[in-house]
Structure 1
Amino acid sequence: MTDLKLLALDTEDLEVISAHVQDAVVRIADMGYARGDRRFALLMNRFDWETGQHGRRDKGQRKRAALHFDAVQSVVTAGIDTNAHEGVLNLLAITFMPVDGPAGIVELSFAGGGTVRLGVECLEARLADLGATWAASAKPTHAID
């Protein structure tokens, strides 16, 4: 399987990226905002849903990946202890809510209710696999209500 390299410039594109990073594991220390560059970036171990959907008996694979957002004007966290550098978060979804023209709010939602909200001038996100792949210890599951 080839490494992913995706670009999101609208909500439809972002939905594709969100699907690929669902259930990614993110260390708090691996997220950060570079104010001077107006970029928010995070490293993650994403579950490779493309190979995990084939009904195979194994538990699937995880891949090291990087995701970043450009044109970021503000970052607000809620329900996340940003001082717990060794803390680990489970990324559930990424959404975009337009506010004024191309500007809006990107929201990263984590298990347990934590969120990161990015105020952006426009939506521009890039996801890239970094090459490392390994067997997952478990395949993520979600209860359907």
Structure 2
Amino acid sequence: MTDLKLIALDNEDLEVVSAHVQDAVIRVSDMGYARGDRRFALLMNRFDWTSDQKRAKGLRKRAALHFDGVTHAAYAGFDPAAPEGVLELLAIQFQPTSAPSGIVELRFAGGGTVRLSVDYLEARLADLGAAWAASAKPAHALD
């Protein structure tokens, strides 16, 4: 089992990162914006879509993701002060505004979002070593 380490410096890279974190489960208290460091970071339990799938329900892995060059973070559709809140990450997208700056949007099931204003796109994803059998394989309605 190899630990994943990825960096995203453009939209194409971010699409790869987004695919690897699709259906990650995140506690609201495990994410936040460090204004002084200009960094937004989160810890997650990501579903490993690329594992060998020896287990019928797949694997989950503990992982960290952070974005650098962040100038502002805005939350919608959930209470960022609810420490026991749990979110399911669906996708991450980048919309350039005035290159290289733009908006990174993290979209969650149920309509929640985190919007990050960034001076440039730089994201890093790293597995933290822990892995365990998933309790269920994520599935989505196609309607």
Alpha carbon RMSD of aligned pairs, Å? 1.0
Q: 1:82 to 1:16 in 2, by over 3 A?
A: same
Deviations 1:25-50 (A, max 9, x none): 00000001111000000000000000
Q: 2: distance between equivalents of 1:119 and 1:78?
A: 14
2:12 matched residue in structure 1 = 12
Deviation at 1:58, TM superposition (A): 1.5
- Taking the TM superposition and a 5 Å limit, the aligned residue runs for 1:37-116 are 37-51=37-51, 54=53, 56=54, 58-116=56-114
1:26 matched residue in structure 2 = 26
Deviations 1:42-65 (A, max 9, x none): 00000000026x5x5620000000
Structure 1: segments with no counterpart, 5+ residues: none
Q: 1: distance between equivalents of 2:14 and 2:39?
A: 17
Structure 2: segments with no counterpart, 5+ residues: none
What amino acid sits opposite 1:64 in the alignment?
R
Deviation at 1:144, TM superposition (A): 1.1
Percent identical: 74
Runs of 4+ aligned residues of structure 1 deviating over 3 Å after TM superposition are none
Q: 1: distance between equivalents of 2:121 and 2:64?
A: 17
Q: 1: distance between equivalents of 2:18 and 2:25?
A: 13
**SS across alignment from 2:20:** helix
**SS across alignment from 1:49:** coil
Q: 1: distance between equivalents of 2:79 and 2:47?
A: 24
TM-score scaled to structure 1, two decimals? 0.96
What amino acid sits opposite 1:9 in the alignment?
L
1:3 matched residue in structure 2 = 3
Instruction: Give the paired residue count.
Output: 143
TM-score scaled to structure 2, two decimals? 0.97
2:132 paired with 1:134: yes
What amino acid sits opposite 1:81 in the alignment?
D
**SS across alignment from 1:102:** coil
Q: 2: distance between equivalents of 1:143 and 1:95?
A: 21
Deviation at 1:138, TM superposition (A): 0.2
